[in-house]
Chain A
Amino acid sequence: MKRSHFSLLLLVLVYGWAVYWVFTRSSPVIEERPITIRIAHWQIERGPPDGFAAVIKRYEELKPKVKVEQLLVPGAVYKQWLRTNLAGDTGSDIMEWGAWLAGQKDVPARYFVPLTAELEQPNPYNVGTSQEGIPWQDTFHDNLIGARRDSPDPGQIYAVTVTELSVRLFCNAELLKKITGSTAAPKTYDDFRRILALTQAYARRTSQPINGLAGSRDNGLWITSAVFAGPLLALNYQFDDSGYLYLYNRQVLAAYLEGRWNFQRPEVKAGLQLVREVSQATKPGYLQLRRDDAMLEFFSGGALFLFTGTWDATTIKQTAPFPVTAMRLPPITPDDPEVGKYIMAVAGEGRGETAMAMYLNKTSSHPKEALDFLQFLTSVPGNQLFTDKSLWLPAINGVDVPDEIKPFRDYQLGYAIGQSPYNFIGSEVSMAWDSNFYELTGDQGSVDKFAAKLDQVMPQKIRMDLENEARNALLLVKPQDALIIAQANLVDESDQGLMHAQRRREMEAGQTMSEGLAFQMKLQLARSKLP
């Protein structure tokens, strides 16, 4: 073969290989950033993706060897995506998780790593800020209430949070003026009730399909949780044997099985009446609709209020074709003319709960870098970037809050009900609530019918949920035996060895606590066994 033919052949081969590479690979031949970490979340509303992008851009400037990819997974498929990837060992390094994701309660114990030891140390990215030298966990505005509460192990913290959320009534100010003659926000719950009645009258008078509240399953659940809790407070304190001034789901479930409350109790019926009132102000069949449908209904002028979280505030602000005002849902007080006699005190929102909980995947290939990114994301400078670009409240103390979102930090102080309102204390309970909800709403529905139906179906459902709670506690406990022994056998005098000793101690304490809880729940189940 002549030399020129050989060169030509070589050129064609190299060109062919280059074309193949370009069309089949997305990464360059030589990776400039050898480490890639991925962070997955479902916050695809307007705001967070830009916030994360700003944080990532700055982080990559600081860490030239690390590339961070943001995976936006729609909420509708997140559960399935999460479970499939975790089971297949292909999960992202950092993943968002929430305790309310139905059927996913076991995920943290199975797949995520506790961050307790790291959270006790200062966040290195806070040097030179107001949070310098403060343990990382104490730099969160709420001391990580949610991450502590939702931890599968009461002695451990598994997540860090990025933002702070609250729920608010977003009001179409123009429509409010047309309906009530004023743009004044309701001062009491009875004012709010009256505005809902006026809206119904206005819709009838003008023959326009206008509802008091924009409806969807999610929006319905949020307002249900807010109003249902009010009258339950008095009941709650009657079976707070532990003295926590707060009830965990397992305690409410056990109290039902022990016959200490049921849906016939006047406090519970008062709560159901409030749920019926807000349901009647919402489009029929709203439980079948999604958040986007409620948003559309509100934007098209079909509803006066949209009750949603501040997570939708940026979208609402950028999309609504009319002026929108955000206001707190007025608290239900002891002087309420309908249910006041059952109200012990005002239920509070606390001082804001931080959210968008990020967890570190146990099987991450780069746990050190992923943890480092989490520290930057939740540092004063990192969280400031997120806040400025997303217009979501910061989770971290010392971050400046932009003026337009400052009102979201105006919280209703009051008593805490506990982990969840009684319609949400377990997945079986929630499903039974939903499937029988028609008994409460519409012209055919009533509080009495719904309460009777719930007491018929709930004993079995509540038992199943308490069994699930006990099972989940043991799910965490069992694998720890192997881990504790393994940690113990890696202990030596080196820094790494001492870290294993620390982990072993933490795991032993956490395991004993979880084991204790599982035993308690089993005892309660045994005590209340049906004949």
Chain B
Amino acid sequence: MVLSVTPSERWMLCACLALFMPLLAWAGSSTDDADANWRALINNRPKDVLRVYDADTAGREAQLAEGVAIMSMQPATDDNMRRAGEIFVGVAKGDDELAAQATYLQARLHQLHFQVPDYAQAAQLYEQLATLQPDSHWAQLGLVKLAMLKLYVLNIDAAVGADRLSSAEVLLKRIHEPALLRDLHLQIGQAGVVLKQPLPRILPHLVAADQAGGISGTAKEDLVVQIGELSLRAGLLEQSKDYFERYLQTYPDNLRAYAVARRLEETNRQLALKREAQP
């Protein structure tokens, strides 16, 4: 079949193309520009983002990238953080992913990036985000950060160690992303050690973090040997045995393997005594 087009139709087609082509090009370049901005930030080139930024045409994503670029500039100054914060306040008006990211970043500025941190303000922003968009990833991540503030810096005079763990444990119920839940369990467990909490209080968090999986680097090795040793100290001998055996299986040549093997001998000795003592 031959497609036949009349001269008038040909003109209409040309006109349509002429109208749509710039639109298509604009749409394509908009996505490309946004991606280019984020890629520049990944490559530690915030100046590239600021160089191409056009305040008149920038959408919310470009504005967010501009804010992130400003907070990444070196030297990091409070002036830059304030400028970035103002941009984030603007982008945060809404209830979408960009708004959640912008609110999260506002909290991070107050917690970490200003010369003098304002932990209370950061905590309030994390809480606000978790109330407005509880299922957003950024709200969930913010809850982990909020829990850490509660563990280490908020109300430290009022709370004794155990209460500080409780205030973070409450937040576990509001987190449903498994990786973030794991990270918070690990943080509560490690904080418990530094805050000198009883081992039965600490160990379930460490075990939960391990069972969630996905921990890498030296943190994984540390966690396996830690659960083995703290379980031995707490008298949880079966658990200690499991973890020490797992350590020796996974890291047979590592520096701590010799010590772990000796501690496993001790665990087995105590287990044998316990069995003998049973009627």
Contact = CB atoms under 8 A, between A and B. Distances in A.
A445 interface: no
Nearest to B184: A512
Contacts of B64: 485
Contacts of B226: 242-244
Nearest to A116: B216
B35 interface: yes
Contact of A519 (B38, B113, B148, B263): B148
A524 B230 CA distance: 21
Contact of A141 (B186, B196, B221, B253): B253
A116 B180 CA distance: 19
Given A413-B258, A482-B68, A516-B148, A489 B38 contact: yes
Interface stretch (A150-158, A287-295, A333-341): A150-158
B217 A474 contact: no
B1 interface: no
B61 interface: yes
B187 A478 contact: no
Interface string A332-368: 0000000000000100101111000000001100000
A96 interface: no
Contact of A350 (B39, B105, B144, B254): B254
A350 B253 contact: yes
Contacts of B113: 478, 481
A481 B71 contact: yes
A351 B254 CA distance: 7
Given A151-B218, A482-B68, A513-B183, 13 more contacts: A141-B253, A145-B255, A157-B216, A242-B226, A244-B222, A345-B262, A350-B257, A363-B44, A487-B42, A489-B61, A509-B216, A516-B190, A519-B151
A67 interface: no
A245 B256 contact: yes
How big is the A interface, by class? Answer: 35 or more
Interface in A205-264: 240-246
B36 to A, nearest CB: 10
Contact of B105 (A154, A246, A481): A481
Given A145-B255, A490-B35, A513-B219, A243 B229 contact: yes
Contacts of B191: 516, 519-520
A520 B190 contact: yes
A482 B72 contact: yes
A244 B229 contact: yes
A244 B225 contact: yes
B108 interface: yes
A143 B217 contact: no
Given A244-B229, A488-B101, A516-B191, A142 B253 contact: yes
B20 interface: no
7 contacts: A243-B193, A243-B230, A245-B256, A415-B262, A416-B258, A508-B141, A522-B152
How big is the B interface, by class? Answer: 35 or more
A351 B144 contact: no
B152 A523 contact: yes
A153 B229 contact: no
A155 B215 contact: yes
B120 interface: no
Contact of B254 (A145, A483, A515): A145
Contacts of A479: 44, 72
Interface string B123-144: 0000000000000010001001
Given A156-B216, A362-B44, A505-B179, A513 B186 contact: yes
Interface of B: 34-35, 38-39, 41-44, 46, 61, 64-65, 68-69, 71-72, 76, 101, 105, 108, 112-113, 137, 141, 144-145, 148, 151-153, 179-180, 182-183, 186-187, 190-191, 193-194, 196, 214-219, 221-222, 225-230, 233, 251, 253-260, 262-263
Contact of A478 (B76, B253, B254): B76
Contacts of A485: 41, 64, 68, 101, 105
A487 B217 CA distance: 21
A240 B228 CA distance: 13
A83 interface: no
Given A142-B253, A512-B148, A516-B148, A154 B222 contact: yes
A103 interface: no
A487 B42 CA distance: 7
A149 interface: yes
Contacts of A348: 255, 258
A243 B191 CA distance: 14
Nearest to B179: A505
Contacts of B183: 508-509, 512-513
B254 A143 contact: yes
B267 to A, nearest CB: 13
Nearest to B141: A508
A506 interface: yes
Contact of A243 (B76, B225, B253): B225
Contacts of B260: 245
B217 A116 contact: yes
Nearest to A345: B262
A416 B42 contact: no
A321 interface: no
B255 A523 contact: no
A477 interface: yes
A148 interface: yes
A414 interface: yes
B42 A524 contact: no
Nearest 6 A-B pairs (CB), nearest first?
A243-B229, A148-B218, A350-B255, A486-B41, A519-B152, A351-B253
B216 A120 contact: yes
Contacts of B38: 486-487, 489-490
